[in-house]
Amino acid sequence: MEIIEITTRSRCQAVDMTADVQNVVSRSDLRSGLAVVCSAHTTAGVTVNENADPDVMADLMEALGRLVPRSGPYAHSEGNSDAHVKSTLVGHSVAMPFEEGRLKLGTWQAIYFCEFDGPRRRRVIVQLVSAR
């Protein structure tokens, strides 16, 4: 298991962390299996989406903002209820296969950390599971 630290710079932000996860896979003795990538936070998420056009992730973050506005009739009083809801919608983890030490991503895919309550210093857990 390894921890990747991410420092976000805005309240809502998508950070491409593909290279960081690939580095964990590359350093491992395991040659094939699954890389489980998990946010250690309740106001952030992890997803896989397109990396060729940055507008895709910008659109996703903007759409989540419209679906779950920052202010609303929330019972949670810390002012970040929207971030909790967005985290649940995106999900806190992904499982990505790897083979021969390389992530098996599609042509346009990347792994993104999604910040919904930043800016903050965050931790992402990467656990490699052997295919055998």
pLDDT per residue rounded down to tens, the chain (132 residues): 999 999 999 999 999 999 999 999 999 999 999 999 999 999 999 999 999 999 999 999 999 999 999 998 999 989 999 999 999 999 999 999 999 999 999 999 999 999 999 999 999 999 999 987
Residues contacting 65, CB < 8 A, separation 6+: 12
Model confidence pTM above 0.85: yes
pLDDT at 7: 98
Q: What is the CATH number of domain 2-130?
A: 2.60.120.460
Among 97, 91, 87, CA closest to 118: 87
Alpha-carbon distances, residue 41 vs 45, 61, 117 (angstroms): 8, 18, 10
pLDDT at 72: 84
Q: Could you check whether the bond before residue 119 is cis, i.e. omega within 30 degrees of 0?
A: yes
pLDDT at 132: 76
Q: How far apart are CA 37 and CA 34, in angstroms?
A: 9
pLDDT at 77: 87
Residues contacting 115, CB < 8 A, separation 6+: 6, 8, 10, 11, 12, 13, 14, 15, 44, 122
